[in-house]
Amino acid sequence: MLKIIPAILSNSKDEVCKLLSICEGQVDRVQIDVVDNQFAKNATIDPIVIADYKTKLFLDYHLMVCDPYSWVDKCVKANADRIIGQIEMMDNQMEFMDIVTSFNKKVGLAIDIETDIAEIDDLVLDDIDVVLVMSVKAGFGGQKFQEKALEKIEKLAEIRQDYNYAYLICVDGGINSDNIHKVYQAGADEVCIGRSLFNGEISENIENLKNVLTYESKK
């Protein structure tokens, strides 16, 4: 079954901690979006400001920053389980992977909506933990899902099967009840959902999305 991961994009420590608290006991993994106001004209919290937040949640940090290498240590100190960087900001994807794994953390690469999967270094695909496909422009919330992401998901799933790779495929941006089944059918293992998941009861919203998946799969 498709894994649904709440995504937090905020420049307020208090809000991030509040949303993390809401997620406690409801899910096991949360993604925290990190934007540096250079990769995109938006700015969120620096991971280091929540380094003292105690949680049993597995934390993903999605680095939408100009120098992802230099942010890894901050994410590690902020209790990261997975650290995911945008390849558009990398001169060397293998170097990013090596830095993250040197801290014994899981590592992911993200591709923006206009980036082709051919831009992912073939050498990393055998060892990467997750490939994150943006289905909107990276760096901003509340955008509409773009269906051209589906072709990327399908291609990544095909490559994974052909070469017996083990990476997960995660999709981020504009996911809702109208498109979640298409994403799942294309081959995604995980989806990240932001503000809509926090409107109301998060557990109820997740259950509703799972019901959509079950219903659509039976049609």
Place of tokens 């994150």: 132
Q: Which two tokens stand for residue 177?
A: 């009840």
Q: Which of 36, 60, 112, 172 is catalytic?
A: 172
Active-site annotation holds for 33: yes
Give the C-alpha separation, 160 to 12, whole Å. 38
Q: Cα–Cα distance between 84 and 3 in angstroms, integer? A: 17
CA dist 146 and 33 (Å) reads 19
3-state SS string for 158-215: HHHHHHCCCCEEEEECCCCCCCHHHHHHHCCCEEEECHHHHCCCHHHHHHHHHHHHHH
Catalytic pick among 33, 60, 112, 189: 33
Q: By the 8 A CB rule, do 27 and 201 touch?
A: no
Catalytic residues: 33, 172
